[in-house]
Amino acid sequence: MSSNDDKPITARRFMEELRRYQRGSVTRRHFLGVTGLGAAMAVLGSAVPALKPRAAYAFGDLGDTLAFTTWPNYFNQKNIDDFTALTGVNVQISVFGSNEEMLAKLQAGGTGWDVFVPTNYTISTYNKLGLIDALDTAKLPNYDPASQESRFTGEATIDGKLYAVPKDWGTTGYVINTEKVTGDMTSWKQFWDRTMDDLSGRVMVHDYQLTTIGNALKYFGYSFNSVDPGELKQAEDLLIKAKPHLFAINSDYQPSMRNGDAWMSVCWTGDASQLHRDIPAMRYVLGSEGGEIWTDFYAIPKDAPHKEAAYVFVNFMLDPFVNAREVQAHGYPSTDSKTNALLPDKILNDPILYPAKDLLSKLEFGAAATLTDPLRAEIMARFKSA
Amino acid sequence: MRWYAALIYAFLYLPIALIVIFSFNSGRYAMDWEGFSLSWYATAFANPLAVKALWTSLTIAAVTAVLASILGTLAALGLERVTPRVRRSFDAAIYIAVMVPGVVIGIATLIAFVTVFDAVNPVLANLLGTAAPKFTMGLPTVIAAHVMFNLAVVVLIVRARLAGMDKSLLEASADLYATPFGTFRQVMLPLLMPAILASLLLSFTFSFEDFIIAFFVAGPNVTLPIYIYSSIRRGITPEINAIGTVVLAVSFTLLILAQYLLRERAPRA
Amino acid sequence: MTAATRSRIGTAAMVAPAALFFIVLLVLPLVVVLVYSFGLRAPAGGYQPGFTLDNYLNLPARAAAFLNTITLAPLGTLVTVLIAYPLAYFLAVKVSPRWRTLLLVLVIVPFWASQLLRIYAWMMILGNRGIPSLLFAAGLGDIRLLNTPFAVLLGMVYGYLPLMVFPIYVSLEKLDRRLLEASADLGASPFRTFLQVTLPLSLPGVATGSMLVFILLMGEFIIPAFLGGGKVFFIGNALVDLFLQSRNWPFGAAVSVALVAIMLVVIVIYMRFILGRSGTRRMVLS
């Protein structure tokens, strides 16, 4: 991942020295001598406001671990390392494949998670089930509603209270390997038709009801979020007809796309930009019929064992400098204009991250009802077991 | 025959060879060979999460193996002397323990634990105030779930050994006024040793390999299989292969060492 | 205190810890499963107390997964026996004792490289750049192996071969070689000797190994998930889905109960009719 293009060299140098000091490979005297602590802290403070030591978070009362649950390929290891170097808190990362899985584990209880990353349409359910608490914004000085694009953040506010803070946003389209997939691909209709035709055996869909059923609904021009039994029946028939032609039903499509086993897959923004970065022949397509637009959030479970550390972590990740490094690594656009200000034009003009307006306007945010709808869950199960 | 065996060994070792070879790959992706390098070994051991996952798994597996072997051996011995009814209920428990899929054990154990903890924690907090221990999911809960499963295996192994044992030896020992404990230590234990060693080895392996039970009951702890599972999702890097290779190399060394030690002792026996 | 009482207390002390584990970690969770299986799916997913038989009546909705499992698990067991037997025979009868231990240990060593890593290696071998590319180069056309029932079967055999080799080896190793010689001296062909002497003696091992492998295959979900690409669907996968994706826990509980019931029935039939006649039942149960 791109960890070498971090901007302020002084801050980076400082972090390296700090790590060396903490590892014990240099003495405190050397550390202070090399960095000139006071000056360095000033530099660091201006570059990375989140790193400014605050009395409220005198490092040490945070505990030594933090359990962070997120999605695959969704963070910059360098940020995690810096957080640990600064606070002494080790970040234990686990990754999940669907919002349903995260919800199931929180519902069962005993997760020990401190911070997790839910998608927009699930937050109201977490709130209703009492699995998350309203956030104490005083502990999140880096969260500035004014610099956040409001259409991406609305679903985190319930009854005037903030339950989660935005991480990034993205779209769900599909990725094609243009060395193998010829012709102009622009729609979901083409996606499904060619799956059952010349691309048979080379296509992947997510193991995730929202996007798989949603994009099958799009074939017929229905809403991505439909819970109408008649429309869902048509989507199910399409899925079952297409199933023998699929390479796999799996949300982890990067390895298979890279390996050449799969030539086309339902795909999220960042995976497409990561794939495109390494293999230029990979192209991202947003179906002309529409599809999903979404926001992912940081949230803190109600029974998080390390709440203080969780707040410090979320606040750290919200820092524009840190967040910009995140975007450069995972390739999902930020919701925060302060972060965007730090990003190079190459990213800000990337059509994978920022699709054309006419494509964007047709996209729908996932609806809360799809998460809990028993029919959609059952259709997904029938599709997989067929 | 010989060729057939060679073919089967090739089948068994083909994936292992791949794991080892690609641990020396300098590239980022497991299957794109880009040249020889040891850098992923350095990466693996500098990665606190990977190292911690390995230690977590080793701890769980070691504690599980010891506990399951001791308790299982004791139970197998005790079961020789209980009434048929007690033995039958034990048999049922053993077979069901082996038969219930890990997924079900995992989720059911999680729900049972959470329910019990939610009931117990407030009571403890009321009684003891802030000093009260708070039960949560963690290493002890994984170990407990693993011990349960492996107990069944150990009891089966030890009983198989007991079944083929000459009981007259024990009687002879008792007739010669040996204390029960003396009989146990001097007659029983040596006879049971192979079964106990097999139990230790098997329970260690089962516990070290388990993904699904730990996935549910480990709380926020990441075991090595959970770490590998996450890595597979992210597109595996040779780092994981390096860890796998080290585990293999250590087990191989221990085996050869054991083999050597046992051979040294053999003539004297 | 009499000696009898003391001995009874001793026995109780030996059995009690194991019994406690079984009660707390097996019986209690299984009671949870049983209670859940009669409950309701909460509106947002999960469990809601209640009493209904719907979850059991709904079992046919997973008929395809049950069918897949109940065909592939016995098939996998059978193929594993067929492949394991000659190897076990070779190890027990043909190999010189000097090499025997080493070769035996070599059968289990692959087990210590994580199961997940080995499956991932198979994904590579069966994937686009592995065997299919060799087959293509050999002019055999575009053959797909990964994410097929064949790949799942191969994974199952690979994963459980050692568990089959060992019990068969143990039963064959006890075989008195003089029996074989006597049989040969009496003019029996090697094949007849095998059929009439070796095979019957090794049956207990075959039975133990088969049962073990069969039981584990019935609950398997990782091999079909990774080598079947989510397209070869076992009951184990259905369970993971029901608990983690659709979050219909009561139905998941009912499917679990049904799975265990099916296994019990299969195993009882197996013991009664197959083992009962050959007189090996007692040895399997040991």
Q: What is the pLDDT of residue C275?
A: 61
Q: Are B145 and B213 in contact (CB under 8 A)?
A: yes
pLDDT, mean of residues B198-203: 87
The structure tokens 């020396």 sit at B24
pLDDT in tens, C196-247: 888 888 888 898 899 889 999 999 999 999 999 988 999 999 999 999 988 9
Burial of residue C266 (CB within 10 Å: 0-12, 13-18, 19+) is middle
Report the C-alpha gap between A324 and A8 in whole angstroms. Answer: 12
Q: Is B2 exposed, middle or buried (0-12, 13-18, 19+ CB in 10 A)?
A: exposed
Report the candidate in A355, A360, A301, A325 with the shortest Cα–Cα distance to residue A114: A301
Q: Which residues, numbered 209 to 248 in chain B, qualify as contacts with chain C under a Cβ-Cβ cut-off of 8 Å? A: 209, 211-212, 224-225, 228-229, 232, 236, 240-241, 244-245, 247-248
User: Is the pLDDT assigned to residue A39 strictly greater than 50?
Assistant: no
A209 touches chain C (CB under 8 A): yes
> How far is residue B149 from each of residues A30, A217, B70, C28, C116, measured CA to CA in Å?
54, 45, 14, 14, 20
Mapped onto helix, strand or coil, the DSSP state of residue A112 is: coil
What the block records as the tokens of A293 is 């637009």
Q: Which of B1, B78, B105 faces C29 most closely, judged by CB atoms?
A: B105
Provide, as residue numbers in chain C, all residues whose Cβ is less than 8 Å from the Cβ of A384: 230-231, 233, 237, 241
Whether B81 contacts chain C with CB within 8 A: yes
- Which residues have CB under 8 Å from C194's CB, separation 6+? none
Least confident of A84-98, A240-254, B117-131, B152-166: B152-166
A255 near B CB under 8 A: yes
B258 pLDDT exceeds 80? no
Question: Is-contact C102 B258, C-beta < 8 A?
Answer: no
A92 in reach of chain B (CB within 8 A)? yes
Return the number of other C-beta atoms located less than 10 Å from residue C165's C-beta: 26
Using the beta-carbon criterion (under 8 Å), do A384 and C241 form an inter-chain contact? yes
How long is chain B? 269
Q: Which of C22, C86, C63 is nearest to B91 (CA)?
A: C22
What is the separation, in whole angstroms, between the first and last Cα of chain B?
A: 33
Q: Is C193's pLDDT higher than 90?
A: no
Q: How far is B1 from A47, CA to CA, in rounded Å?
A: 71
The secondary element (H helix, E strand) that includes residue A167 is: strand A165-177
Q: Nearest 10 degrees: CA dihedral of A45, A48, A54, A57?
A: -150
What is the residue-averaged pLDDT of chain B? 86
* Residue of C55, C232, C247, C255 to mutate when probing chain A, most A C-beta within 10 A: C247
Beta bridge partners of A356: none
Q: Are strands A157-158 and A203-205 parallel, antiparallel or unpaired?
A: unpaired
Closest residue to A110, CB basis, from B31, B48, B136? B136
Q: What would the pLDDT profile of C53-65 be if each residue is shown by its tens digit?
A: 999 999 999 999 9
Mean predicted confidence (pLDDT) in B86-90 = 89
- Answer whether B143's CB lies under 8 Å from B217's CB: no
Q: Looking at residues B73-92, what average pLDDT do you find?
A: 90
Q: How far apart are CA A207 and CA A205, in angstroms?
A: 7
* H or E stretch at A173: strand A165-177
Size (chain C), residues: 286
**Distance in angstroms (rounded) separating the CA atoms of residues A14 and A37:** 9
pLDDT at C276: 61
pLDDT of residue B131: 79
Which residues touch A354 (CB under 8 Å, ≥6 apart)?
Answer: A333, A348
pLDDT at B180 over 80: no
Q: Which of A150, A147, A162, A160 is nearest to A319 (CA)?
A: A147
Q: In this predicted structure, what is the pLDDT of residue A53? A: 45
Separation CA A257–CA A282 (nearest Å): 9
**Residue C251: enclosing H or E segment and its boundaries?**
helix C249-269
Task: Please tell me the least confidently modeled range out of B92-96, B210-214, C41-45, C280-284.
Answer: C280-284
pLDDT interval class at B133 (50, 70, 90) = confident
Segment B148-160 shows an average pLDDT of: 90
- Please list, residue by residue across B144-172, b when 16 or more beta carbons sit within 10 angstroms of its beta carbon and e when fewer do: bbbbbbbbbbbbbbbbbbbeeeeeeebee
- The pLDDT value recorded for residue C208 is 84
Section A303-320 average pLDDT? 95
Q: Read off the pTM.
A: 0.86
**Nearest Cα residue in chain A from B109:** A108
DSSP string, C50-73: ---SHHHHTGGGGHHHHHHHHHHH
- Looking at the predicted structure, is the pLDDT value of residue A269 above 50? yes
Q: Which helix (H) or strand (E) holds A94?
A: strand A90-95
Chain C nearest-CA residue for B156: C286
pLDDT tens for each residue of B1-17: 889 999 999 999 999 99
DSSP secondary structure letter of residue A120: G
Tell if the CB–CB gap between C87 and B101 is shorter than 8 Å.
no
Phi, psi dihedrals of residue C219, rounded to the nearest 5°: -100, 5
Q: Is the dihedral of CA B99, B101, B106, B108 positive or negative?
A: negative
- The mean per-residue pLDDT over the stretch A45-49 comes to 46
Q: What is the average pLDDT value for chain A, to the nearest integer?
A: 87
Q: Give pLDDT, residue A164.
A: 97
Q: Is the pLDDT of residue A307 over 70?
A: yes
Q: What is the pLDDT of residue B147?
A: 97
Where b means 16+ CB within 10 Å and e means fewer, A88-119 reads ebbbbbbbbbbbbbbbbbbbbbbbbbbbbbbb
Contacts of A281 (CB under 8 A, 6+ apart): A177, A178, A179
Structural Rg of chain A based on CA atoms: 22
Instruction: Report the distance separating Cα C178 and Cα C186, nearest Å.
Output: 12
Count of Cβ atoms closer than 10 Å to residue A197 Cβ: 10
What chain C residue is nearest to A379 in terms of C-alpha separation? Answer: C246
- Is residue A316 a contact partner of residue A62, using CB atoms and an 8 Å limit? no
CB nearest C247 (choices: A103, A207, A249): A103
The whole-number average pLDDT for the span A37-66 is: 52
| Nearest Cα residue to A271 out of A173, A371, A193, A130 | A173
Tell me the pairing of strands A65-70 and A90-95.
parallel
Q: How many CB atoms lie within 10 A of CB C174?
A: 12
B42 has pLDDT over 80: yes
Q: For residue B113, what are its two tokens?
A: 């634990």
pLDDT reading at B205 higher than 50:
yes
Rounded-to-integer distance, Cα B7 and Cα B5, Å: 5
Q: How many helices (H) and strands (E) does chain A have?
A: 19, 12
Q: By the 8 A CB rule, do A134 and C273 touch?
A: no
Q: Which residue has the tokens 């039981």?
A: C215
DSSP secondary-structure letter at A263? S
Q: Where are the beta strands (DSSP E) in B93-231?
A: none
Quote the CA–CA distance of A165 and A117 in Å, as a whole number: 10
**If you average pLDDT over residues C83-111, what whole number do you get?**
88
Find the mean pLDDT for residues A110-137.
95
Rounded to whole angstroms, what are the CA distances from C93 to A373, B1, C172, C208? 61, 11, 8, 20
A75, A87, A92, A98, best to mutate vs chain B, most B CBs in 10 Å: A92
CB < 8 Å to B233, chain A: 72, 95, 97, 251-252
* Residue that the structure tokens 């969780």 belong to: A310
The per-residue pLDDT for range A358-386, each reduced to its tens digit, is 899 999 999 999 998 999 999 998 899 88
- pLDDT > 50? residue A43: no
C126 has pLDDT over 60: yes
Of A241, A244, A284, A239, nearest to A265 (Cα)? A284
A55 pLDDT more than 50: no
In angstroms, the CA C155 to CA C149 distance is 10
What is the per-residue DSSP string for A264-298? EEEEEHHHHHHHHHH-TTEEEE--TT-EEEEEEEE
- Is pLDDT at C48 greater than 90 in this prediction? yes
pLDDT of C1 > 70? The answer is: no
Res. A18 pLDDT band, cuts 50 70 90? low
Does residue A326 register a pLDDT over 50?
A: yes
Using the predicted structure, report yes or no on whether residue B195 has a pLDDT greater than 70: yes
Across A95-104, A234-243, B121-130, B220-229, the highest mean pLDDT is recorded for: A234-243
How is residue C275 annotated by DSSP?
Answer: I
- For chain C, the farthest-separated pair of C-alpha atoms sits apart, in whole angstroms, at 84
B10 contact partners, CB below 8 Å, separation of at least 6:
none
- Greater pLDDT, A102 or A60: A102
Best-predicted range by mean pLDDT (A178-187, B19-28, C200-209): A178-187
For residue C192, give the 3-state DSSP assignment: helix
- What does the block give as tokens for A188? 């979901």
For residues A205 and A192, give the distance between their C-alpha atoms in angstroms, rounded to a whole number. Answer: 10
Which of the residue ranges A208-212, A215-219, C209-213 would you say has the lowest mean pLDDT? C209-213
Q: Give residue-wise pLDDT tens across range C5-35.
A: 877 888 888 999 999 999 999 999 999 999 9
The H or E element containing residue C258 is helix C249-269
pLDDT top residue among A190 and C269: A190
Enter the tokens of residue B185: 């230590």
Contact C246 A100 (CB under 8 A): yes
Q: Compute the average pLDDT of residues B60-67.
A: 97
| Distance, CA of A294 to CA of A274 (rounded, Å) | 18
Which tens digits make up the pLDDT trace of B226-256?
998 888 877 777 888 898 899 888 888 877 7
Tokens representing residue B28 in the block = 């980022």
User: What would the two tokens of residue B45 be?
Assistant: 């051991």
Nearest to C18 among B71, B115, B225 (CB): B71
**Could you tell me which chains touch chain B, where touching means 3 or more CB pairs under 8 A?**
A, C
